[in-house]
Structures are given as structure tokens and as C-alpha cells.
Structure 1
Amino acid sequence: MNELQIAPEAVEIPLDLTLEHAGFEAFLTDIRRHLHRHPEIGLHEYDTARFIRDLFERRGLEVVGPLARTGLYVDIVGAADGPTVAYRADIDALPIDDRKDVEYRSTREGLAHLCGHDAHTTIAIGTALLLAERRDRLKGTVRVFFQPNEEGIPSGAPLMIRDGVLEGVSAAFASHVDPTLPTGVFGLITGAATASADRFRVIVRGPSTGHSARPHQSADTVWIATNVMNTLYQVVGRRTDARHGTVLAVCRLRGGDAYNVIPQEVEFGGTVRCTAREDRDTVRTLIAETAQRTAAQFGAETVVDFDHGAPPVLNDHKLVGLVRETITGMFGEDAIFDIPAPSMGAEDFAHYLTHVPGMLLRVGTSDGPATSYPLHDSCFDIDEAVFGKAPRMLAAMLEAYLERAR
């Protein structure tokens, strides 16, 4: 064994990293546990980036970066010329306490890998190392890249694109762990896989404060704001295609400091999510117009702001077919779960798919109650046996893509 000294602990790297190596799964488990112990918030993943860089460089692989402050990538260049296909992993953690009673629990208070990004990073590392061992069979290049700040707005994907991660890339893939699926099962869906996510804020402003005994002498901003909210809930369902998924949710409401004073301003906000790209602009316009029109009826005005998040992930049907064939050939049809409907959650991997075709798949990581907590739960964990299958499947799939895309 070669010992890779990366503070604060050592990770042993097997000399033989072929698909059949008995220690490969244990090696990846050590990596995942190191990352899990030392989470970092988005755009501050400096230790994580150094860890990844050091690991690859000690295996003789050239690392490109930083991109987007803490992002990087490694190109696995095959023996034959061909296209470049990308595989992406996110590396940031969440600002949540880790409440699991395990020896690899987060050592950083208020930070934890509770969305599986430590597993995503580990799977990507394993995939890259497996491909590096078989580069003589690759008919092109596989770019494995590690992206910061998936959880934030603005997220890391547009910054990675700005810094050139997609240059020369013909398609992009990613995966996300799924605690609702058993380990060894992969979730596939064609078309919309996730929704977009945009944040909105509405300020309802009256001419002045008012007395609660005489609301007729002022604009009752609290009542007006609730009217705007209720109208938004109604109008979105009547002005967007019911066959598309669209969800508007008001999640915060602020206004007033006294029980007998009508405030001059009330602010509320939330998110709007769409599975069809064309609905995003429609809903933004609806929110702005509805707020202005409703408030004006009662003598108030509005200010509406948007923070544009990720678009929907739209999986390419041909690439879904390629992944399906790879999984079936390696593990059989029982290893596939056909996802019946898109998630209304968001994933910033979608930004890459506005430039190149691609797909996002789900990777099952549950083997019982301890690994079935939902994403973002303070007890979220994974079945680490996933490292015995997911990197192997992804390496085989990416190799097959290069073979077909020539």
C-alpha cells in the first residue's frame, strides 16, 4: 500500500485500482468518511479541494483548477481521439448539525454532509481512478469535475461554466444519492427530472402607517398582502399548463411592530418551482402583475424581486437509454427503478444542460432505518456498500458513451 498523508488523517491508496480489486470499496469508504468528518460550506471548500487535488496528483493525474474559487477537474485522456464527456460531483456541505451517533460524524459544529455530497465526491473520485486504469480502452476523454456551492444561490454551476469547465464537452452526467431506493438500485427518468427553483420577494407598501381602529384611513398592508398571497395561489394554477408541475409557496411573512398599528410595509416571499422551462417566465410575470394589480385596488403599491435559481433538469432520452443499457448489462433489470414523476426539488446541474445534453440519475443508498433518513435530515446517512457498484457502473457507462459518440 502507498500511504497518502492528508491532514488530519491518512487515507491508504491501493496500488491496484482495477474493477476487481477487493480493497477498492474500503478505500472509497475511507475517503467518504474523511470528507464526512470535515464538511465545508459552499465556496469555502478549500480543504476539500486540496484533498481531491492531492489524491489525484499522487496517482499521477493532472488537476485543472481552481475554477469557481474551489472547483477543479481532471481529464482522463484515452489512447484514441474522440469526444469529451463530463461527469460532475458537488462538494459543499449544509449549515446543519450532524446528530448521528457514528465515529465519522462531522467534527465541525453547524456543518454537515446531509445531502450526500461527500458520497457524490467519493463516487466521482472512484469513477475517475477506475477510468484512469483503463485509459488505453477509452476512445476520447472523460472530464470528472468537482463543483462548489450546489446548495447556494447563486450556485456554483454557472461559475464553473463561466470558468470553462464545459469547453469541448459534448455531454454531461451526474448522480444523486437517494435514501428512498435500496442500495444497488438506480433511479431513471426521461425528460424533467427536477424542477426549477426561483426565490421571490414582494413588498406591499402603503402611504403611511395607520391606526388599527381606523383602517379606512390608511392602506391595510397586512390584509392587502394576504390578498396578494391568496390570489397568487389561485392564479398560478389557472395560468400554467396543468400537465406541467408548478408549485408556488410563500414561506415567510414580516410586518408590523405593534398590535394597534397598521404597518406601512409588509414583506413576504417564497419559492416558485416549475418542471417546464417555458413556465418560469410565465410565473414570474404573473407574480409581478398580480401583486401590482391586487395592491393597487386597495391603495397600495408593490415592489417585486426575484433571485433566479436553477432551471429544471431535463434528461436527454438517448443518454437515459445508454445508462439503462449499462445498468441492465451489469446488474440486471431489477437494478432499475423507473421514477414515475419529477422531483419538485431543484438541482443546479440543470445549468450545464442548457449548454449540452445530459442526464441526472438517482443512486439508491438505503439498507435499513439508519440509512433511510431523508436528505437534509440531521441524521442522514448512506449505505457505503454503494461504492462497490456506482463507480463501476459510471465508469462503464462513460466508456460506452465515448464508444458510441465517435
Structure 2
Amino acid sequence: MTRNAELKKAVCAEIDRRAAEITAISEEVLRHPETGWRESETAHRVRRWFDGLGLAHEDGLALTGVKARMRGRTSRRSVAVLGELDALLVDGHPYADPTTTAAHACGHNAQIASMIGAGYGLAPVMDRLDGDVVLFAVPAEECIEVDWRLRRREAGDFEFIVGKPELIRIGAFDDVDMAMMTHAGPTVSAPAAAVAASANGSLVKRAAFTGVAAHAGATPWAGANALKAATLAIAAIDAQRDTFDDADTVRVSQILTGGEAVSAVPAHAHMELMVRAGSVTAMRDAADKVDRALRAGAFALGVDVRVETVGGYLPLSVDEPLADLLHDNCVSLFGADAVIRDSGRMGGSTDMGDLGHIMPVAHPWAASGSAAPFHGPGFFTTDHVAAAVNPAKFMAMTVVDLLCEGAERAEQVLSTSGPKLSRDAYLELRRSFDTVTGGIVER
């Protein structure tokens, strides 16, 4: 047995020894959900678990992030294992907070547990690794409660509305060379893991239509109907769908509110949209078409429209050298028939894509025990071993591959993963998405 294999065997044995603790962490976070930028109690739990590992930690990074570093015998390279702190808002979820409706319908509870579990496994072998391991609980991955987040941004609490971009902005990843995390998702065709999947980037838009109120029965001709302008804009957006290249996996979704009373011509309507696509170029193209549709609806009804665009996520692309290592370790644990190497592009988004623009990243998926639709009231982790213990193993094994024997494999990953942006170039790109347009339409 090679030294590398011996270390990985020791890591897995330690994770198995502490499997009950890891599953208990996943259960505890599942039962105490908090939404992004409000994860104070979850962050407190992470600090407690880091204390149990004897790790000093930085707290309050981008409000709630918690970061600990495990030192190797040398510090040639640094690999981060991440876990996301936040939950969604899902009314009717069996584990929803009764006051806030926050619920872990995205499996982040298992991410926190697998991060801690990887730390458990790696702690006894750090003195034989030529690099450091960063365990990092990160805030606000879900892009929800946009109005509230924008108000917090205006108050100066953060610049970016999701967590990893904000952590990049403040330099919290400056001392990390590469990163990985595992997401628990609905049952996939392979029962154990899907190693590599790319994801869409996204932009968030808020459109405010302003018309003229009037009596809807007596003098509707005296009004300018903001709600009808918004519904016409939605129809125009739908008419654009044939203009999107299938390869770009464009998705446009929206929610609409408007009107004060059915007896009055609605003077106000508000739309929140998310525009997703598989590349930055496709994101910009789709966003331009959506903007045209919004203006067209306003122009047709003679109302005003103000459109605010905010960056959500950058697209996630697979860093093949890192995915190869994860794949080999998953196959060694579960067998080739239980592992999907590349599951293609998912239509959803993650701010792991932002991190992937500045360093090599991996974002494998693991089984959750649930076949219910993702982000819905029926989805939650039911198999905490599959969702948390198993990922702790294959991520820790991959860290061993990267950092043993002079961190040679880490150097190879860095040299073969392709060009990455500097932090300044990344921030310039992110900020280029943020725009506000609007004007007065002549009536």
C-alpha cells in the first residue's frame, strides 16, 4: 500500500469512527434553519464544532462566515472545504421554522456536516500533508429576499447580495488556492455521487411600472394601467424564448405584484425576475432581450418603467483536473456503477461559479435519500450518511491526494485548470452587471 493510500485509509477510518457525530450535525442544522445573512445561530454552532476540533477561527466574515485553518507540516498550498450556512423560505416544509418559514430544502445542512466531517478525518494526518486545509462555513448562497438584501446593501452591510462574491471582495479567499464542497440533491441515476456538473449564471432584475390611477368603472380611459403593462412585458419575454440558443440553457423566471384595489386602474406594478444562462455572454444577451420586453410593455400602455439589474451568480464550469481526483476517490468508495462522472449543465445557479472564476473548484453532488423536487416542501435530507458522511470521505481523500508528497497534485491542478481572474478583474466583472435604467414615457 502506498503512503497516499495509507493516509486515505486512516482518514476514512476516522470519519467512520465519528459518523454518528457527523450525522447528528446534519440533523441539528436541518432542524434550525436560517436564511442568508441571518445565520447567526448556525454560525454559532459551527464555532462550537471548530472549538471541538481545537481550531482557532475567524468569525463574522461577510456578517456570518466562519473560517478555520488546519496547518500541515508545510503550507505550500491551501485547499478549502466549504459548507453553506443558509436555508430557503419554503412554507409547508416539515422542518420549516414556524415563524420565518426558513427550511433546508436545498441540503445545506449536510454541507456543514460534511465539511466538519472532512475536518474530523483530516485532523490526525495533517502533520503528514504539505499544505493547509481551510474549513469555511459561508453565508447567503441562496438568492432570495432580494428587496431586503438591497436595503441592507444600501445601508452598507455588504456590496454583493450573495455570500461568496462578498467574501471574495473582502479578501477572505486570498489565502486559498482551490476549493470544494458537496451538495446533497434529489436521487440521481447513480446512487452515490455525481462528480462534475456545470451551472448557469444569473442576473436579478427588479422592474417598477408606474402608471396613472383612475376609477376602473367610471373613467378607466383616464388611467394608465401599470399592471397590464407588466403582464404584456411578460408575454413579450415569453415570445423571446425561440431566440435563445438551446446550448446556452437560458431560463427567465418572474414574480409579479400590482394594484391596490380592483375598483381602480392599477398605478403600480412590481416585477422581480431572474435571468439565467450558461455563459456571461449569454447572460448579457438574454438580459438585453428582457429589458427590451419590459420597455415594450411600458411603452404600449404609456407607463413608466424603472429597471434595476443586480448580479446574482457567475456560471460554474468544471475544473477537470480536480474533478478527476474526486471521481477516482468516489469510484474507490462506491464502485464505478454508483458514480456519474459528468452530469452536464444544470439550469440552476450557485455562487460556487463566482469562486470558480478565481480558483479551481469542484462541486460534486451526493444522494440525500429524497426523490422529492429540489427546493420544494418535500425535499430534505433523509439519509445523512449518504449526504454528509460519504462526502466527508471523498473530499478528505481528495485533499490527501492534493497535499501529500510535496503538494505535487495541487500544483498540477493549478497549472492545468486554465486561466483564472485576479480578484480585481473579478470585481470589475461583477460590478459591470449592476445597472439602473428608466425614463418617462410621453402620454
TM-score, with normalisation over the residues of structure 1? Answer: 0.83
* CA deviation after TM superposition for structure 1 residue 183, in Å: 8.7
Q: Please tell me whether residue 384 in structure 1 is matched to residue 384 in structure 2.
A: yes
- Per the alignment, residue 237 of structure 2 pairs with 232
Deviations 1:344-367 (CA, angstroms, capped at 9, x unpaired): 22222222122212121111122x
More deviation, 34-43/23-32: 34-43
* Residue of structure 1 equivalent to 2:80: 86
What is the rounded CA distance, in whole Å, between the counterparts of 2:276 and 2:373 in structure 1?
A: 20
Match for 2:50: what amino acid?
Answer: F
Counterpart Cα distance in 1 of 2:48 and 2:208:
49
Deviations 1:211-243 (A, max 9, x none): 5577666545444333322112222531x4332
Change (3 A) 1:293 1:25: same
SS in 1 for 2:110: helix
- In 1, Cα distance between equivalents of 2:67 and 2:249: 34
- The code of the aligned residue for 2:118 comes to T
Q: Which residue of 2 aligns with 1:393?
A: 394
Q: TM-score scaled to structure 2, two decimals?
A: 0.77
What is aligned with 1:181?
188
Contact 2:210-2:269 within 8 A present in 1 as well: yes
Tell me the distance in 1 between the aligned counterparts of 2:92 and 2:342.
Answer: 29
The amino acid across from 1:372 in the alignment is A
- Does structure 2 conserve the Cα–Cα contact (< 8 Å) formed by 1:256 and 1:266? no
What is the aligned partner in structure 2 of residue 300 from structure 1? 303
Counterpart of 1:147, as a letter, is V
**How do 1:9-158 residues align onto structure 2 when only pairs under 5 Å count?**
18-21=11-14, 22-96=16-90, 100=94, 109=99, 110-151=101-142, 152=144, 153=146, 154-158=161-165
Match of 1:66, SS state, is strand
Gaps of 5+ in 1: 1-16
Report the alpha carbon displacement of residue 177 of structure 1 after superposing the two structures with TM.
Answer: 0.1
Q: Distance in 2 between matches of 1:216 and 1:38?
A: 53
Partner of 1:245: 249
| One-letter amino acid matched to 1:65 | D
CA RMSD of aligned residues (A): 2.8
Q: Which residue of 2 aligns with 1:336?
A: 339
2:352 matches 1:349: yes
The residue number in structure 2 matching 1:12 is: none
Residues 15-38 of structure 1: CA deviation (Å, up to 9, x unaligned): xx9522453211212222222333
Amino acid in the other structure paired with 2:117:
G
Residue 171 of structure 1 corresponds to: 178
| Deviation digits for residues 358-383 of structure 1 (CA, Å, limit 9, x no counterpart) | 121111122xxxx3333333342320
Change over 3 Å in CA distance of 1:256–1:48 after alignment to 2: closer
- Name the structure where helix makes up a greater proportion of residues: 2
Report the Cα distance in structure 2 between the residues aligned to 1:292 and 1:183, rounded to whole angstroms: 45
Structure 1 CA distance for aligned equivalents of residues 300 and 190 of structure 2: 56
Q: 1:219 to 1:89 in 2, by over 3 A?
A: same
Higher strand content, 1 or 2:
1
Structure 1 residues 136 and 282, CA gap change in structure 2 (3 angstroms):
same
2:430 corresponds in structure 1 to: none
